[in-house]
Structure 1
Amino acid sequence: MQVNDIEKFLNEVFPPENALDYDNVGLIAGNRDKVVSAILVSLDLTSKSIQAAKACGANLIVTHHPIIFGGIKALTMDDYVGRTLVELINSGISVISCHTNLDLTDEFGNLAIAELLGAKDAKHLDGAVCGVYYELGSEEPVTLKDYCKKVASDLKCSGIITINDPQNKVNKVFIQGGSFDEDSVDTILKNGIDTVISGEIKHHICVGLGQMGVNTIIAGHSATEQAYLPKMAKLLSEKFPGIDITVNYNNEVSSIL
C-alpha cells in the first residue's frame, strides 16, 4: 500500500473540492509512491508528532491541520514551518491533511464530539455552515454549570470559558468544533438552540448570543478536534487492516497553569 492509495481513499471520503477556498488539503509533503509502513494520526504536524511517528515506525502522518496554508518562498530552518518540514523530509515521512473538507462532513467531525458527550440522535442543523444539534431530554433541568463540567470531563479540556449565568438551563445544544463560524448565528436563533459548544468563539459573538438567550461554551480548539482522531484511526484501520494505525494525543494543547 502506497501513500497515493491512502490519499485517494481520504479524498473519496473528504473531497478536496469541499474544502474552503483558503485551505490546503491532501498530500502536503512527501512521496506518493512510497510504501506505507504504518500511519500516525495527529491533530498537527510538529516536531513532537514527527518523533511520535518515528517511535511507532510510521512513515505517513495524517493530520487535521495543514502545516502550509499559503505559498512559501523558502524552506529553511529559520521558522517553524521550514524547520518542521525539513525534519519531516529528512525523516522520510509524508504528511496528508484533511482540514475543512473534514470539518464540513458533519457525520464525521462534529458527530464525533457529540458522541463523546453521550448525545443521542445528533443531527446536522440545516442552514448552518456545519455543525450538529441534539436535545438532552432530561427530566430534571440541567444547569450550564453542570453541563460545562461534563464537557470539560468528556472532552478532557483543561478549562471551559463561558460568560453566561451558571444557573442558566441547557437543553437544545449545537456543536461546531474548532472555530465557530458566525454565519451560523441566524440559523441557531431560528431553531431555538439554547447552548453552543465550540473550540473558539469571538467575544462579541458570545455577548450577542447571550443577549438572545443562548449560552456559549468555549472548550478549546484542540480539545474539540481531538475527538476526530480516534474516528480517523478507525476509518483507516477498517479500510487498510494490514497497516498499523497510531493516534497521537501529544499535541500542543493549551493548558491552564
Structure 2
Amino acid sequence: MRVAELVRLLEQRYPPSWAEDWDRVGFVLGEPDAPVTKVLLAVDCDPATVEEAVAAGAELLFTHHPLLLRGVSTLAPTTYKGRIVHRLIRAGVALYTAHTNGDVANPGVSDALAARLGLTGLRPLRPSPGDPARGHGRIGRLPEPTTLAEFAEFAAPLFAGGVRAAGSPSTPVTTVAVSGGAGDAFLGDAVRAGVDAYLTADLRHHPAQEHLANGGPALLDVSHWASERPWLDDVAAFLRSEAGVETIVSDVDTSPWTLWRTPTRES
C-alpha cells in the first residue's frame, strides 16, 4: 500500500468535501509513492504522538485534529509547528487528517462515542443537508431508564478525567444526545430534539447556565480528547480491513489539563 492509495481509501470514507468551510483536512505532508505498512492514529499531531509514531516505525500518522488549521507564516524549526513538520519529514512519516468530515460521517466520531455509552437506535443530532443519514452528533436510547446521577456515575470511568454533570441528580434519563469534541454549538439542537441529557465536551459556563435556566436537557461534560478517542478504533479497524496495514491507536492523552484535584475538608 502506497501513501497515495491509503489517502484515496480514507477520502472515499471521509470525503474532504464533507468538512466545514473553515476546516483543513486531508493529506498534509509525505511522499505519495512511499510505502505504508503501519499507521499510528491519534487525536492530535503533537510532539508526543509524533515521537510515538517514529518509535513504532509507522510510515503514516493519522490524526483527527489538523496541525495546520490556522495559517502560519513560517515552518522554521524554531517554531512549534515547524519542529513537528521537520521531524515528520526527517523520519519519513506522512501526515493525514480527517476532522469535521469525520464528525459528520456515518459511522463517525459521535457514533463511536454513542457506542461507548451503549446507546441504540442512533440518528444524527443535526443532520447534514441533503443526507439525513449523516450529520453532527447522535441521538440514541439507553438500554434502561436511569437518573442523571446514575448516568454520570456510569459514564465517569469511561472517559479520562471523568465527567461533570449539570441538572437535577434525580432527572430521568432515557434518550441521550452526544457530540464528540466541543459541542456547545449544538445545545439548541438537543433542546429541539427533546432528549433527556446531552453529553459533549468543552461546555462553557454561561451557555450551559442559560441552557438549563431555559429548561434544556441535563448536561454532561467530558474531556475533549476523551470524547474523540473512541473513533480512532473504528478508523483503525477500517484501515486494517481495507488497506491491510498494521495499526496502532495512541492512548497518549493530549489534553492540556493534566492535573485533577478534589478539595478536602479539614475536620
- TM-score normalised per structure 2: 0.88
**Counterpart contact for 2:155–2:162, Cα < 8 Å:** no
Partners of 1:148 and 1:160 within 8 A in 2: yes
Q: Is the 8 A contact 2:118 2:143 kept in 1?
A: no
Alignment-derived partner of residue 209 in structure 1: 211
**Corresponding letter in the other structure for 1:105:** A
SS at match of 1:130: strand
Matched-pair contact (CA < 8 Å) for 1:180–1:199: yes
Q: How many residues align?
A: 252
* Cα distance in 1 between the residues matched to 2:24 and 2:216: 37
Correspondence for 2:9 = 9
Cα drift, residue 50 of structure 1: 1.7
Matched letter for residue 162 of structure 1: A
Give the Cα separation in 2 of the matches to 1:71 and 1:205. Answer: 29
Describe the SS at the equivalent of 2:241. helix
Cα distance in 1, alignment partners of residues 81 and 126 from structure 2: 37
Give the alignment of 1:52-63 within 5 angstroms. Answer: 52-63=52-63
Partner of 1:149: 153
Cα offset, 1:127, TM superposition: 4.9
Structure-to-structure mapping, 1:71-150, within 5 angstroms: 71-125=71-125, 127=127, 130-136=136-142, 138=144, 141-150=145-154
- Following the alignment from structure 1 to structure 2, what is the Cα–Cα distance between the partners of residues 213 and 52? 42
- The CA RMSD measured in Å over matched residues stands at 1.8
CA distance in 2, matches of 1:87, 1:195: 43
Give the aligned residue type for 1:152.
A
Contact 1:178 1:222 in 2 (8 A): yes
Match of 1:178 among 177, 181, 203: 181
Deviations 1:45-85 (A, max 9, x none): 12211221122211111110110013222112333211111
Contact 1:106 1:130 in 2 (8 A): no
Q: What is the CA distance between 1:126 and its match in structure 2? A: 5.1
| Structure-2 change in CA distance of 1:62 and 1:126 (3 Å) | closer
Contact 1:58–1:93 (CA<8 Å) still a contact in 2? yes
| Other-structure match for 1:200 | 202
Q: Deviations over 1:91-147 (max 9, x none)?
A: 111100000110111422111111111122222235586111112252xx5221221
Q: Which residue in the other structure is 1:245 paired with?
A: 247
Task: Quote how far apart the aligned CAs of 1:250 are.
Answer: 1.1
14-23 vs 68-77, which moves further:
68-77
Structure 2 alignment gaps of length 5 or more: 129-134, 262-267
SS state at 1:36 partner: coil
Q: TM-score, normalised by structure 1?
A: 0.91
Q: Deviation of residue 195 (structure 1)? A: 0.6
Determine the structure 2 residue equivalent to 1:232.
235
Residues 126, 52 of structure 1: alpha-carbon distance in 2 compared, 3 angstrom cutoff: closer
Contact 2:140 2:175 in 1 (8 A): yes
Q: Higher strand fraction: Structure 1 or Structure 2?
A: 2
Structure 2 CA distance for aligned equivalents of residues 72 and 191 of structure 1: 40
CA distance in 2, matches of 1:188, 1:29: 38
